[in-house]
Structure 1
Amino acid sequence: MASLSAQDEKVDWSVLQGRAASVGALLRNRVEATPDKPAFQYFRDPSSAELTTVTWAEAYDLIEALAAGLIDLGIGLEDRVALASQTRYEWVIADLAIVSAGGATTTVYPTTIGEDVAYILTDSGSSVVFAEDDAQVAKLAERRTEIPGVRHVVTFTGSASEDGWVMTLADLESRGRAALEAQPSLVRDRVDEIKSEHLATLIYTSGTTGRPKGVRLVQDSVVYEGAVIEAGGMIGPDDLQFLWLPLSHVFGKMLVATALQIGFPTAVDGRIDRIVDNMAIVRPTFMAGPPRIFEKAHGRIATMFAAETGIKKALIDWALGVGAQMRDVRERGESPSPLLSVQHALATRLVLGKVQERFGGRVRFMISGSAPLDADVAKWFGAVGLLVLEGYGLTESSSGTTVNRSEPGAYVYGSVGWPLPETEVRIADEDGEILIKGPGVMRGYHNNPEATAEVLTEDGWFRTGDIGRIDERGFVYVTDRKKDVFKTSGGKYIAPAAIEAKFKGMFPYLSQFVVHGAGHHYATALVTLDPDAITAWAAAQGLAGRSYSEIVSSPEAHALVQGAIDELNAGLNRWETIKKFTILDHDLTIEEGDLTPSMKLRRKAVTDKYRHELDAMYEEA
């Protein structure tokens, strides 16, 4: 069994050793250190492009009142309070109020069906629920008899109920301010009681089989994630984060903890369809997201470039070539030659800078996580001057486990970087599974000792279920999910995620690509095309005005996909090649349960749903 422990000489170990005991203490420290610095930005009016900025002191004034209100409602240490809402400013404030009251946040995706919401609330033992709007309140009201433990519901924008079961955020705030007037130190005293091993959050995994499992993350796990990023020096107080990720997902929550630790402001808006437009308004210095966001942006811009002709096309190709040279120099940690520096400055002014402006013009780096990102997509971004750093982690490891660093020579395209300080990574000799150990690892699954025993060893190692390797420089590579690797009837193993990521990097019109073939003698695939990209392509093919389903079912679209798959197959082993494919007449979506809220493929759900289409590709074999 190979072993690796991160020993980064640039790490400020004092930050890790002196980290706060709890998230509540971390927040209080931040407010005391920089009360008048901007903390959050959000669109008070969603239809407006005007951002409202809130300082740390202003944010804390509301957080403390809400925390006091929760204490007045009976919330004690480690008591669970659920949050069912899309990403928005109020989500962050409510979450910080929960932890400041000593409670533990139970996250609920707003798209979760009522049956699963009832299960999560009951299994977690949540007694109070923050619900975004009347739609979320209605979901709870319909299942009220199934959730007798829920004593109160607090709604962000919805209406209070006559029986008092539902109150508004303003109602809770008023209740808290009255409690603070009677006992000004109420919240401070509670925060002082919270210890590092107290429960901070319960995050239910969006599993594809059986009931979701509640991951128990303690205060130190959350605080560690913020402290370790500051210790590494990648982000500073002058940075500006754009946060749109689902805050019910561990990645989003830990980015908030990082903001508390370092003190940079965060612009919060969860509308996925507004990401690119909002980046131009927010002008962030860094952002995190799943691969699909980067794949889609790459596909849109790459197809625009490919459509150019003549001198303009030659200029774009030259600029991208110069950008690729600079990208490679930086990846190696070398200094560019004077000639390359001059050429790159010109390429940036004429072409590359225009792409950078689409992302606000100030991005230092972006982080990709939650699923594999094809190295070619990351390299394309690197060529246009936008560094995309891939990282790796799971809900069970508090999100961050490994990450590429932003300084030249400290990242490798295609890898997920080095382990974070105080986190160890091992590769099991028997099957190549990635094992991890460190402060971020969960303390177990809630009310599920059997599942906990399956993944946590007695000495604290977590079995990730991912297959990977570590190179001679210590960079970690993830090749596939252990459960997703399948064997053909010919006895050959295929890792579908690697092939899927590769194709996404090659084919800009692609939305989703699902490789299948367990027990069969060849591999097949389900294909969906990006609606925006394929519609623009169709117009150039004389298919303007046709619906999405008409476009993707056309002979022209089939030939387009076939040509791309032929190119993909040329770089695969014979047994990995895609022999047949089916283009679906609609895209895979979060709403239909095909993708998780963080845009990760629900492989089993999709293969079960499209079993007829998959089986049909083997009927004549």
Structure 2
Amino acid sequence: MAAVNRVFDLLSYNKSNFNNQDILASKVAGKWEKHSIDDFIAYADDISRGLLKLGICKDDKVAVMSPNRPEWNFCDFGIMQIGAAQVPMYPTLAEGDIKFILKNAEVKIVFVSDEVLYRKVETIKNTEQLELAIYTFDKVAGLPHWTEVQLLGKENSSVDLEPHKDAITPDDLLTLIYTSGTTGTPKGVMLTHQNLISNVMYSSEMYPKGVRKALSFLPLSHIFERMVCYMYIYLGVSIYYAESMETIVDNLAEVKPHCFTTVPRLLEKVYDKIVGKGHALTGVKKSLFFWALALAHKYELDGKNGFFYELQLKIARKLIFSKWQAALGGEILVIISGGAALQERLARVFWGADIKVLEGYGLTETSPVIAVNGPKPGETMFGTVGKVLPNLEVKIAEDGEILCKGPSVMKGYYKRPDATDEAITDGWFHTGDIGVLKDGFLAITDRKKEVFKTAGGKYIAPQVLENKLKESVYIEQVMIVGENRKFPSALIVPNFEKLKEWAQKNGIAETEAAKLIKIKAVCDKIWLEIEKLNEGFGNWEKIKKFALLPTEFTIDGGEMTPKLSLKRKVILTKNADLIEKIYAEGGDRNEHHV
């Protein structure tokens, strides 16, 4: 059996143990194009030889800037097999970040997906006078294509790759991943082969048996999906790439996967759509739907609700929840959620519907998984991110910060020994997250940097409040503000689809978002939702005022990171005048609009 010490060893391991005939697949011209493990190995080897011929050496940096597609993986493995380090770059990166990464990492070659990205990188190359070769994955007339590198490798098939592979140790640099830069200049996280392999091995032990096919749509540029795809190769799971975020539902129906990874934001949207369809039902069907939904909201793990509840749930699963499962392709065994906090009620509902959603937690700096809930009895606890992986140690610092130590913790920040020393003390990595350990399960309460004090000296954990407010079907997105103010307030992007439905039923004909949020009855409705969800919080935590925004926070708008987390500083800056207006007026409650 092939040993797996470095990430590229996964290919020979898969070949020996599974010999996958569809290890990678993507939609090309309307048809699923599949690649076998033999194809994968051949492409990776060709790319390795081609790069060597182009003068790429051990420790050089080669970037990939593209949405998910098999070429991403071919180049990834081709780069790592010769000891070069891959620098993944989000296709949505701002020009300033692209410039910084290319210069800081001294990137020699960039593989981009299409002509738009080619031109973007080419402009930076010319203005900054960078020595940089650019290749596209799409075929574009007159532009260098990635197959030129592959064909150069094919023409030099006599080049022996084994000495290059043998020279690579588990402690060698595999990849340089730049953080999204929400708090200033991006930092390059140095991850080694050992970092990723250790995370693959221990994460794979939590995966349910019987998983053979996965749908992938989270960006490979992020360590979460990338590690998971390495794990799929290790487990013999075939990877099918969704065409885009918009086609996920169609792709689920076509591929019928056993698993996929997601972020809570997408699960929230799925849930809201399902509930929306429930509201459209009439008579007995509608009553049955909401009876089943109420049942799922009370779900407790491992049969704790007793025999009569389980009997009712069995009926609900057959009549109602089987349709939910069918909408996800009909064969889902597990969904892994990461990247942000999952609302506890969503976890309960999906588990009640017999769709196991396993929430995990980690950071780029930890390769990434620190803890994850498992599919077996006793392996999951709602409201937590699961048990810490057995090869890692976690402790809670005096100020509540989660510290982590183990083989998946990064080597450090590239060219930033100061930042590395600040982040790692005696081998303990400071996560920047606040948490607690409950019976061996880790619960995250907030980001250390995001917790703020009111003017009265009370601490506010915004994520907890935000997740609670998002339980309203009328609230799409929310950000809590109020640092050094008398009380917390909320910037709210309503769910306009739901709000318009409510408005029509209440005799309000307006459909334009910017005008709708200025109508008093609409604001009163949102305030009623806030008041209801405020219950259970201390008086100092309760939302006292709010502002309604007419447009969503987006990646393109700069308010969200590529993994759909809020860029709080950006949102605060963009809405500075509005926030001042909230706090300038007296009274306990005001609604404002932009």
With the length of structure 2 as denominator, give the TM-score of the two structures. Answer: 0.94
The equivalent residue for 1:421 is: 390
* 1:511 paired residue among 469, 476, 481: 476
Matched residue, 2:432: 465
Mark the CA change 1:529 to 1:216 in structure 2 (over 3 Å): closer, same or farther.
same
What's 2:275 paired with? 302
Matched-pair contact (CA < 8 Å) for 2:136–2:146 = yes
Contact 2:413 2:419 (8 Å CA) reproduced: yes
Distance in 1, matches of 2:156 and 2:85, equals 21
Aligned AA for 1:588? Answer: F
Q: Do 1:432 and 1:467's aligned partners in 2 also have CA atoms closer than 8 Å?
A: yes
Matched, 1:151 2:124: no
Q: 1:456–1:36: structure 2 CA closer, same or farther, 3 Å change rule? A: closer
Q: Say if 2:144 is the partner of 1:178.
A: no
| CA-based RMSD | 2.2
| Match 2:457 to one of 478, 491, 496 | 491
After TM superposition, the structure 1 = structure 2 runs for residues 52-67 of structure 1, keeping only pairs within 5 Å, are: 52-67=33-48
Structure 2: distance between partners of 1:314 and 1:252: 39
Q: For the structure 1 residues 535 and 226, does the alpha-carbon distance in structure 2 shift closer, same or farther, using more than 3 Å as the test?
A: farther
Aligned counterparts of 2:509 and 2:375: Cα–Cα separation in 1: 43
Determine the C-alpha separation between the residues in 2 that align with 1:411 and 1:137: 45
- Give 1:158-177 correspondences, 5 Å limit: 158-159=139-140, 167-177=144-154
Query: What is the identity, as a one-letter code, of the residue corresponding to 1:577?
Result: K
- What corresponds to 2:523 in structure 1? 558
Q: Against the structure 1 CA distance between its residues 399 and 557, is the aligned structure 2 distance closer, same or farther, given a 3 Å change threshold?
A: farther
Partner SS for 1:109:
coil
Structure 2 residue aligned with 1:8:
none
Percent identity between the aligned chains? 33
2:319 equivalent in structure 1:
350
CA drift of 1:356 comes to: 1.4
| Equivalent residues, number | 586
- Asked if 1:446 corresponds to 2:414, the answer is yes
State the distance in 2 between where 1:52 and 1:121 align: 32
**How far 1:270 sits from its partner (Å)?**
5.7
Q: How many Å separate the matches in 1 of 2:305 and 2:350?
A: 20
Q: In 2, distance between residues paired with 1:29 and 1:149?
A: 39
Q: Confirm or deny that 1:437 pairs with 2:421.
A: no
Task: State the Cα deviation string for residues 13-61 of structure 1 (Å, max 9, x = none).
Answer: xx9xx9622111222222233334320121112xx3x422222112222
Change (3 A) 1:556 1:239: farther
Taking the aligned partners of 2:141 and 2:106, their CA distance within structure 1 comes to: 23
Q: Is the 8 A contact 1:19 1:224 kept in 2?
A: no
Aligned to 1:314: 287
Q: CA deviation at 1:334?
A: 6.1
**Unaligned stretches of 5+ residues in structure 1:** 1-14
8 Å contact kept, 2:211–2:259: no
Q: For residue 134 of structure 2, give the secondary structure of its aligned residue in structure 1.
A: strand
Amino acid across the alignment from 2:317: T
The 3-state SS of whatever aligns with 1:514 is: strand
- In structure 1, distance between residues paired with 2:195 and 2:131: 27
Counterpart residue number, 2:591:
none
Kept in 1: contact 2:510–2:516 (CA 8 A): no
Secondary structure of the residue aligned to 1:607 is: helix
Paired residue for 1:189? 163
1:572 to partner: Cα distance: 1.2
Label 1:90 to 1:539 Cα distance change in 2 as closer, same or farther (>3 A): farther
**Cα deviation, residue 601, structure 1:** 0.7
> Is the 8 Å Cα contact of residues 83 and 129 (structure 1) preserved in structure 2?
yes
Report the counterpart of residue 10 of structure 1 in structure 2. none
Who is 2:9 aligned against? Answer: 25
Structure 1 equivalent of residue 379 of structure 2: 410
Larger RCO of the pair (alpha carbons < 8 Å, separation 6+): 1
Residue of structure 2 aligned with 1:135, choices 110, 113, 116: 116
- Say which SS state the counterpart of residue 426 (structure 1) adopts: strand
What's the CA shift for 1:148? 4.6
Q: Which of 75, 89, 92 is matched with 2:73 structurally?
A: 92
Between the aligned partners of 2:101 and 2:370, the Cα distance in structure 1 is 26
Q: Secondary structure at the match of 2:480?
A: strand
2:511 counterpart letter in structure 1: R
Q: 1:150 to 1:273 in 2, by over 3 A?
A: farther
Asked if the contact 2:11/2:37 (under 8 Å) is kept, the reply is: no
Deviations, residues 137-191 of structure 1 (Å, cap 9, x unaligned): 1111111145555431111015375xxxx620121111110111x33xx334322
Decide whether aligned partners of structure 1 residues 526 and 403 sit closer, same or farther in structure 2, where only a CA change above 3 A counts: same
1:513-556 deviation line (CA, Å, top 9, x unaligned): 00010111011110012344445545545556823333344334
* Code of the aligned partner of 2:94: I
The partner residue of 1:378 within 342, 347, 350 is: 347
In structure 1, the partner of 2:360 is: 391
**Separation in structure 1 between the aligned mates of residue 37 and residue 497 of structure 2, nearest angstrom:** 40
SS at match of 1:589: coil
Residues 216 and 147 (structure 1 numbering): CA distance in 2 closer, same or farther, change over 3 Å? Answer: farther
Bigger mean CA deviation after superposition, 33-42 or 606-615: 33-42
1:280-330 deviations in whole A, cap 9, x for unaligned?
2222111111110111111222233245443223212332355456x41xx
Q: Is the CA contact (8 Å cut-off) linking 1:500 and 1:513 kept in structure 2?
A: yes
CA contact (8 A) 1:129 1:150 kept: no
What is the one-letter code of the residue matched to 2:419? Answer: A
Q: Which residue of 1 aligns with 2:193?
A: 219
Q: Deviations over 1:47-103 (max 9, x none)?
A: x3x422222112222222122211211222222110111222222222122112322
Which residue is equivalent to 2:561? 596
2:3–2:13 CA contact under 8 A, matched in 1: no
Asked if 2 retains the 8 angstrom alpha-carbon contact of 1:83 and 1:108, the reply is: yes
Question: 1:105 aligned to 2:78?
Answer: no
Deviation, structure 1 residue 222: 1.3
Residue-by-residue CA offset, 1:471-511 (whole Å, 9 max, x unaligned)? 1x20001100111111111111100011101221x212322
Evaluate the alpha carbon distance shift between residue 477 and residue 383 of structure 1 in structure 2; reply closer, same or farther with a 3 A threshold.
Answer: same
Residues in 2 aligned to 1:309 and 1:518: alpha-carbon distance in whole angstroms: 46
In the alignment, which of 174, 191, 210 is matched to residue 200 of structure 1? 174
Equivalent position SS for 1:42: strand
Instruction: Please state how far the C-alpha of 1:370 moved relative to its aligned partner.
Output: 1.2
User: What are the within-5 Å matches in structure 2 for residues 265-344 of structure 1?
Assistant: 265-269=238-242, 271-323=244-296, 327-328=299-300, 331-332=301-302, 337=307, 342-344=311-313
